[in-house]
């Protein structure tokens, strides 16, 4: 009997101890709001290892254990829910027909003991629309193509290429210009077939590029039209490796006809091709900042560039329009860069920045005469204008996706340059 009383007493003491421990555990049970993250918390340390059942004990009666952040942050503002393991983001769905990725191999449940606590937004699950937070990044952060582009200092003058830099030229837009020209010619002379004009134009254009570009000569639009009219009126073109008899070809057209066709072509270009986005405002900002500006371009018809400049209202912001047809050579020949420098008032070569889309004509040509260079990558992929590949040995001082961002990479010029430009 005494033995039974002894065992009962021992059992009663054990039960009392368990009840006391449970009561203490309830006192130490954390408030869900206590687990909200505070500035300076290093959650990586909390994620390394959690004590399992029976491993260690809380440091104090009212100190909550570190939250298990593998399932996200608990928040008192969230509706209690029961959810499974937080899924890892996947690039594809492993199980067709299911709207969610499969369960993750790591991570703890949101509610381990059925207490109805919401783990919050899972750190390892796919983000929903309420979980995405965008960090504001300054627009003037100079990061271009995976490397940091330095701000250029000491730039007093800037020259711009025309086609595919100030004015994008796509194949479709250029073809419309030529088609409008062909239609006007066919209306003026019903004996000329419009499609035959387009074919002859394209073939003679390619011939001129083969003949003139290697010699740094600009193609002559009037000579091209003389050849086109000669072909349309019965003269056979020479083989590709032979030259035209230009004098004989000119007998099949007259100067007024050639001039009228050139004017039609020029007007169609000006009216049909808009400038690159942001160019108008860019020229205003650069000119107001005191820098001398000019256009420096390979173009077969200087009158077209002049007409375009006037139509867009760019003339007050430009000191010069230097075109290869007027100079007699094309970029990258140093003579055309020398002509532009002279038109700008002979600033130091290192104080001139040339902006263009072509590596050979613009970047290599300007760098060879000591100028700074900016390459613009946004030309149309199907452009019919001549282009060159990027050589591994050439680097530009700036590489821009948009010409409109140019002035963000230029240091302030200071009052000295501004006063001199006025």
Taking Cα atoms as reference points, which of 417, 418, 413, 416 lies closest to residue 153? 413
387 within a domain of the structure (yes/no): yes
Convert the pLDDT of each residue in 65-105 to its tens digit. Answer: 544 544 444 444 444 444 444 343 343 344 444 444 444 44
Q: Give, for 220, the enclosing helix (H) or strand (E).
A: none
> What is the mean predicted confidence (pLDDT) over 211-220?
95
User: Across the strands, what pairs with 167?
Assistant: 163
Say whether both 376 and 284 belong to one domain: yes
Query: Do residue 345 and residue 377 come from a single domain?
Result: yes
The domain boundary, picked from 271, 296, 323, lies at: 271
Does position 130 have pLDDT exceeding 60, yes or no?
Answer: no
Helix (H) or strand (E) holding 54: none
Strand-pairing partners, residue 266, are: none
Strands 157-160 and 147-148: unpaired
Q: Are residues 380 and 393 in the same domain?
A: yes
Model pLDDT for residues 336-363, shown as the tens digit of each residue: 999 999 999 999 999 999 999 999 999 9
The stretch 183-197 carries a mean pLDDT of 98
Residues 258 and 282 in one domain: no
Gap between the Cα atoms of 398 and 400, Å rounded: 6
CATH number for position 395: 3.40.50.1000
Mean pLDDT of the 365-379 span: 96
CA distance between the termini of the chain: 117
At residue 56, the pLDDT reads 46
Q: Which residue has the higher pLDDT, 283 or 24?
A: 283
User: In sequence order, what are the residues at sequence separation of 6 or more whose Cβ sits closer than 8 angstroms to the Cβ of residue 322?
Assistant: 159, 294, 295, 296, 297, 336, 339, 340, 343
- What pLDDT does 85 receive? 46
Cβ atoms of residues 327 and 335 within 8 Å: yes
What average pLDDT does the segment 186-198 reach?
Answer: 98
Q: Is a pLDDT exceeding 60 seen at residue 292?
A: yes
Q: Rounded CA gap, 329 and 213, in Å? A: 9
For 136, left (φ over 0), alpha (ψ -120 to 50), or beta? beta
Residue range 108-118: average pLDDT?
47
Which structural domain, as residue segments, surrounds residue 175? 171-271
pLDDT in tens, 219-270: 999 999 999 999 999 999 999 989 999 999 999 999 999 999 999 999 999 9
Out of 271, 305, 331, a domain closes at: 271
CB 70 within 8 A of CB 86: yes
Beta-strand ranges (E) seen in 33-152 are 143-144, 147-148
| pLDDT for the residue 224 | 98
281 and 405: one domain? Answer: yes
Q: Are 281 and 162 found together in one domain?
A: yes
Q: pLDDT class for 146, splitting at 50, 70, 90?
A: very low
Question: Could you tell me which of 32, 201, 49 has the C-alpha nearest to residue 120?
Answer: 32
Q: Say whether both 281 and 147 belong to one domain.
A: yes
pTM: 0.65
Q: How confident is the model at residue 150 (pLDDT cuts 50, 70, 90)?
A: low
- DSSP labels, 300-358: S-HHHHHHHHHHHT-GGG-SEEEEHHHHSS-TTSHHHHHHHHHHTT---GGGEEEEES-
**Above 70 in pLDDT, residue 141?**
no
Confidence of residue 149 (pLDDT cuts 50, 70, 90): low
| Count of structural domains, the chain | 2
* Mean pLDDT of the chain, nearest integer: 77
Verify that 404 and 280 share a domain, yes or no. yes
Residues 314, 298: one domain?
A: yes
Could you tell me if 191 and 340 lie in one domain? no
């Amino acid at each position: 009997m005494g033995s039974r009383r002894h065992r009962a007493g021992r059992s009663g003491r054990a039960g009392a101890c368990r009840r006391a421990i449970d009561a203490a555990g309830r006192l130490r049970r954390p408030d869900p709001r206590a687990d909200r993250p505070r500035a300076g918390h290093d959650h990586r340390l909390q994620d390394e290892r959690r004590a399992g059942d029976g491993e260690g004990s809380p440091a104090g009666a009212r100190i909550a254990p570190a939250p298990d952040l593998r399932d996200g942050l608990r928040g008192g503002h969230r509706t209690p829910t029961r959810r499974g393991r937080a899924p890892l983001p996947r690039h594809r769905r492993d199980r067709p027909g299911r709207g969610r990725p499969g369960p993750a191999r790591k991570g703890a449940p949101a509610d381990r003991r059925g207490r109805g606590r919401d783990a919050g937004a899972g750190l390892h699950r796919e983000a929903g629309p309420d979980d995405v937070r965008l960090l504001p990044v300054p627009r003037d952060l100079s990061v271009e193509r995976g490397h940091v582009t330095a701000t250029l200092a000491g730039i007093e003058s800037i020259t711009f290429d025309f086609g595919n830099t100030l004015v994008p030229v796509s194949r479709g837009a250029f073809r419309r210009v030529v088609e409008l020209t062909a239609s006007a010619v066919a209306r003026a002379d019903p004996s000329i077939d419009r499609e035959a004009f387009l074919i002859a134009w394209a073939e003679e254009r390619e011939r001129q590029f083969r003949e003139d570009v290697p010699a740094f000569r600009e193609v002559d639009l009037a000579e091209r039209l003389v050849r086109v009219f000669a072909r349309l009126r019965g003269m056979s073109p020479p083989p590709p490796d032979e030259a035209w008899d230009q004098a004989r070809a000119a007998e099949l057209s007259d100067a007024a006809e050639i001039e009228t066709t050139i004017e039609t072509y020029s007007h169609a270009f000006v009216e049909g091709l808009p400038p690159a986005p942001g160019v108008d405002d860019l020229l205003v900002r650069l000119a107001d900042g005191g820098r001398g500006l000019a256009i420096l371009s390979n173009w077969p018809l200087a009158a077209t560039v002049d007409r375009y400049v006037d139509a867009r209202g760019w003339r007050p912001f430009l000191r010069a329009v230097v075109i290869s047809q007027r100079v007699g050579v094309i970029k990258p020949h140093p003579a055309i860069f020398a002509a532009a420098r002279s038109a700008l008032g002979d600033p130091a070569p290192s104080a001139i920045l040339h902006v263009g889309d072509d590596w050979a004509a613009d970047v290599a040509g300007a760098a060879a005469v000591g100028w700074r260079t900016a390459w613009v990558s946004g030309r149309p992929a199907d452009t019919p204008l001549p282009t060159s590949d990027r050589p591994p040995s050439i680097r530009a001082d700036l590489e821009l996706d948009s010409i409109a961002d140019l002035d963000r990479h230029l240091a302030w010029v200071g009052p000295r340059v501004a006063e001199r430009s006025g």
